[in-house]
Amino acid sequence: MSPRARASARRRSGAANALSLGRHRTAADFRRSAYRASAAYGQSKLANLLFTLELQRRLTRAGSAVRALAAHPGAARTGLNRHLGPVMSLVATAAGRLMMQSEAAGCLPTLFAATRDLAGASYVGPGGRGERRGRPTLVGRGAAARDEVLAAGLWELSERLTDTAFPLG
């Protein structure tokens, strides 16, 4: 890590995540089963939270003031549903008008995380029912997303799969 990064107590590393991230209980290694889009999506969101958790642990151990934070937008109307197929896309679009927040509101948890003095490994999302919409606030993680052994394993798997040694060893 550069001396400039170490010197800045206000720097943060964020992982933007999607709805219900901490509740996914799937394996971090995508190669273990047949590809299913919804499972892969859940795995990627869990991986974001686990990686953020392990990054913060390593930053703390290294004596760094940098903080790793995670945020998710809730259910935001972003057009992501266009990948669902024509019928489901139409249903999702209609339901989205009633139950989802705007793209701009979906950005607020990330801005909250980036501009507030939060503890490392904090997780921010909408404060409304089911974390789908609402004002940004600190939200909880599911048990899998708090698993420090799984987080360390993901870090090591990431290093192996990318043939990269992250300098916070």
Q: How far is CA 96 from CA 10, 26, 46, 107, 167, in A?
A: 36, 26, 24, 17, 42
- Show which residues are catalytic: 41
Indicate the SS3 state at residue 147.
coil
Upper half-sphere CA count for residue 10 (Cβ side, 13 Å):
3
Indicate the pTM of the whole model.
0.77
Query: With b meaning 16 or more CB within 10 Å and e meaning fewer, what string describes 26-62?
Result: bbbeeeeeeeeeeeeebbbbbbbbbbbbbbbbbbbee
CA quadruple 17, 23, 24, 25: dihedral, nearest 10: 140
Domains in the chain (CATH in brackets) are 10-162 (3.40.50.720)
What's the start-to-end Cα distance of the chain, in Å? Answer: 11
In this predicted structure, what is the pLDDT of residue 56?
97
In this predicted structure, what is the pLDDT of residue 40?
81
- Residue 2 Cα to chain centre, angstroms: 25
H and E: helices and strands count for the chain: 5, 4
- Interatomic CA distance for residues 82 and 157, integer angstroms: 32
- Interatomic CA distance for residues 72 and 30, integer angstroms: 22
- Interatomic CA distance for residues 121 and 59, integer angstroms: 10
Tens digit of each residue's pLDDT, the chain (169 residues): 444 444 443 333 344 433 333 444 444 455 666 777 778 888 899 999 999 999 999 999 999 999 999 999 998 888 777 777 788 788 878 877 888 899 999 999 999 999 999 999 999 999 999 999 999 999 999 999 999 999 999 999 999 999 999 887 5
In this predicted structure, what is the pLDDT of residue 35?
75
In this predicted structure, what is the pLDDT of residue 81?
72
In this predicted structure, what is the pLDDT of residue 30?
53
